[in-house]
Amino acid sequence: MDLSFGTDGVRGRIGTELDAASVRGLGFAAAGHLGSDRVVVGHDPRESGPELVDALAEGFVAGGVDVVSLGMAPTPAVACVAALDSVAGAMVSASHNPWWDNGVKLFAAGGRKLGDETQVAIQEVWHRRPRLDPTGNYSRAEVADRRWADSVVGSVAPGALTGMRLVVDCANGATSLSAGGVLSRLGAQVTVIHDSPDGRNINERCGSTRPESLQDAVVSSGADAGLAFDGDGDRVVAVASDGSLLDGDHLLAICAVDRLGRGLLTGSTVVVTVMANLGLRRGLADHEILVHETDVGDRNVLEALDNGGWSLGGEQSGHIVFPEFASTGDGLLTGVQVLDAVVRAGRTIGDMAAELVSRTPQVLESIPVSGSGAAVVAGVADLIQEEAGRLGSDGRVLVRPSGTEPVVRVMVEAVDAGTAESVAERLCEAVRNADAGTGTGAAAGS
């Protein structure tokens, strides 16, 4: 079986890589390793979601675990209920991937992401019995639970966003039923777009990975800001009133400086990943805020926050974590926290972000690979080192295999865009050559 845990659970193409039998097998394998005899399950709007929820639940029940279904719900809602009830959780979603993919994210008792040892233990059991036939031992009964939405509203003062004009892009995903209502309860005037999921339009030319229509809507409507979530609602990007896109680095900076000023930034430290732009690092340093760096993945950010006892961390992609309020990334919570900080500062989100983060030119490329991404990266290691040496302290190079897709990600930062683009072009060509088995010697010398 080729299925295995990536940086954020298990994902695959429906029907060819992931199906009901394999998900049923995963549920059975995980049942004894989640630290609870009950698990709450949610799913995003993909058409394959309900079938996979039933299959996962059958596996859990076969493994001796009771199941409570929340129906369509964002990932942070599942984690929130799991934390409040001290039970395990599971989310059927492929996040920002297209509708034909799906996957499973697992949470240990208390809504915590699984540790490496637990994932390995589940993987070993799953490999021994990768597929499980239908058991008929589960009959779906969905429970409406408003506690997550209430907790997001309660994370700021009543009416904190009164008067703000917002446009919200729900990616035709799991936040479609909740985001507008939560923001309205806080006093904002909200226009919601891409909130009509049909099973196949999730993330389609919308959401946090395709925010162009949100940018247009914010400008054309004269809104103060916009928020765009991904398919399962655990991350967010923002849009300023002039249409400028603000990613996780900008949102982290706004929250970090706000929390520092209120004495809420533990250890004056923010946890970031290796993808964090140099502009964020310099902006935080200007405010004497320390940075703790981890590998990519909100699971790594969460682990660092827990180990360090820190109060804020996140990723450039928009996964932001506030341990005070949540046990995982939460796009809606992040949006509320950022907008609340902006309102209290008496600033616009665009001005505040521009003042705090002067972005270093950055090129990000995703190169599809047919073989092992890790092997491809190893094959271009010499060129990576060579290019990094050329840039020195004026830039950064990061080449890594994706943990969620069959691609190798190339990131280059440099003091000017032209240098970043040329370095990235050489690295991308080397990655393609390595994947094709042609070697990297020619590329390294080009």
**Annotated catalytic residue within 48, 95, 176, 178:** 95
**Fold match, 10-143 / 362-445:** no
DSSP structure class, residue 142 = B
User: Across-strand partners of 320?
Assistant: 314
Going by CATH, does the domain composed of 362-445 fall within 3.80.10.10?
Answer: no
- What tokens appear for 173 in the block? 């995903």
**E strand spans, 203-327:** 225-229, 236-240, 245-246, 269-273, 290-294, 313-314, 320-321
| Residue 393 DSSP code | G
User: What predicted TM-score, i.e. pTM, was given to this entire model?
Assistant: 0.89
CA dihedral 331, 332, 335, 337 (to 10 degrees): -110
SS3 401: strand
Whole-angstrom Cα distance, residue 218 to residue 80?
30
In the chain, what are the domain boundaries? 10-143, 162-244, 247-359, 362-445
Give the distance, in angstroms, between the CA of residue 445 and the centroid of all CA atoms in the same chain: 37
DSSP for 10-73? EEEEBTTTB-HHHHHHHHHHHGGGSS-SEEEEEE-S-TTHHHHHHHHHHHHHHTT-EEEEEEE-
Query: CA 194, CA 170: separation in Å to the nearest integer?
Result: 5
DSSP 8-state code for residue 99 = T
How far is it, in rounded angstroms, from Cα 104 to Cα 17? 13
Q: Per-residue pLDDT for the chain (446 aa), expressed as one digit of tens each?
A: 466 787 678 999 999 999 999 999 999 999 999 999 999 999 999 999 999 999 999 999 999 999 999 999 999 999 999 999 999 999 999 999 999 999 999 999 999 999 889 999 999 999 999 999 999 999 888 899 999 999 999 999 999 999 999 999 999 999 999 999 999 999 999 999 999 999 999 999 999 999 999 999 999 999 999 999 999 999 999 999 999 999 999 999 999 999 999 999 999 999 999 889 989 999 999 999 999 999 988 889 999 999 999 999 999 999 999 999 999 999 999 999 999 999 999 999 999 999 999 888 989 999 999 989 999 999 999 999 999 999 988 889 999 998 777 899 999 999 889 999 999 999 999 999 999 884 443 333 33
Give the tens place of pLDDT for each residue, 295-337: 988 889 999 999 999 999 999 999 999 999 999 999 999 999 9
pLDDT in tens, 240-263: 999 999 999 999 999 999 999 999
What's the CATH architecture for 247-359? 3-Layer(aba) Sandwich (3.40)
Q: Which helix (H) or strand (E) covers residue 362, if one does?
A: strand 362-368
Among the listed residues 413, 411, 407, the one whose alpha carbon sits nearest the alpha carbon of residue 7: 407
- The domain made up of 10-143 has a fold known as Alpha-D-Glucose-1,6-Bisphosphate; Chain A, domain 3 (3.40.120)
- 95 has catalytic annotation: yes
Packing angle of the helix pair 381-391, 417-436 (nearest 10 deg): 170
Architecture of the domain whose range is 162-244: 3-Layer(aba) Sandwich (3.40)
